[in-house]
Amino acid sequence: MYKGKQKLQVKVVTPRGTKVDERADMVILRCTTGDMGILPGHQPFSMLLDYGVLRMVQQDRERILAVYGGIAQVKGDQITILTDGADWPEEIDPVRAEADRSAAERRLAESGDRVAAQQDRALLDRARLQLSVRADQGKSKG
């Protein structure tokens, strides 16, 4: 594992405020092209994010954050993630996520409106990610 002195400054910015502004040894992102690990000193780089978890490795612990799409930019030792939304696992309400999922699935099955369908698909992706993050957390605890 990488044990250098350099650290990454990780910023997760959403329209509702800055979610994360911390240092980390490594981050692993879920990009549209697959998972990607970023270490300090990476070349300048921009990528599209998929709905997925962001893993931040800090010394001996790892924190995860559910990120709902967006983009990431690496510049020097800074990594900035711009996303519509992000949640820590403990902030996710599984009951609400389940309700969102079934509502979105039902609407997608019957609706014909293109713009509304896009919205429902985003909601569905978000709910699915939330549920999987919660499920993983339950496993690691149990």
Partner 1 sequence: MPSMKTVKRRANAVGAMQQVVKAMDMVATVKLRKVKAQHEALLPFTRAMAQVIRGLQACEGAEDNLFLRARPIHHTAYVVITGDRSLCGTYNSNLSNEALAHMEMGRNEQLITVGAKGYEFFRQRGKNLLHHHTKSSDLATYEDAEAIARLLVDLYSAGEVEEVYLAHTTYQSALSYLPQVTRVLPIGGAQRADAQDECMRYEPGIHEFLTQVVPMYLSAVLYGAMVESETCEQAARMVSMSAAANNAEEILDDLTLAYNRMRQAAITQEITEIISGANTGRSAR
82 exposure class (CB count in 10 Å sphere: 0-12, 13-18, 19+): middle
Looking at the Cβ atoms of 107 and 137, the one nearer to partner 1 is 107
- For partner 1, the binding residues in 82-121 under the rule CB under 8 A are 82, 84, 114-115, 118-119
Per CB under 8 A, 28 contacts partner 1: no
Report how far residue 100's alpha carbon sits from residue 87's, in angstroms, rounded to the nearest whole number.
16
Per CB under 8 A, 135 contacts partner 1: no
Residue choice 1, 3, 5, 15 for contact with partner 1 (CB under 8 A): 15
Helix (H) or strand (E) holding 102: helix 94-110
Question: Which of the stretches 56-64, 77-85, 102-110, 132-140 binds partner 1 when contact is defined by CB under 8 A?
Answer: 77-85
Binding footprint of partner 1, residue count (CB under 8 A): 27
- For partner 1, the binding residues in 31-60 under the rule CB under 8 A are 31-33, 43-48
Per CB under 8 A, 73 contacts partner 1: yes
Looking at the Cβ atoms of 85 and 94, the one nearer to partner 1 is 85
Which tokens go with 34?
């697959």
Report how far residue 131's alpha carbon sits from residue 68's, in angstroms, rounded to the nearest whole number.
13
One DSSP character per residue, 7-48 reads -EEEEEEETTEEEEEEEESEEEEEETTEEEEE-TTPPSEEEE
Residue numbers of the site for partner 1 (CB under 8 A)? 13-18, 31-33, 43-48, 69-71, 73, 75, 80, 82, 84, 114-115, 118-119
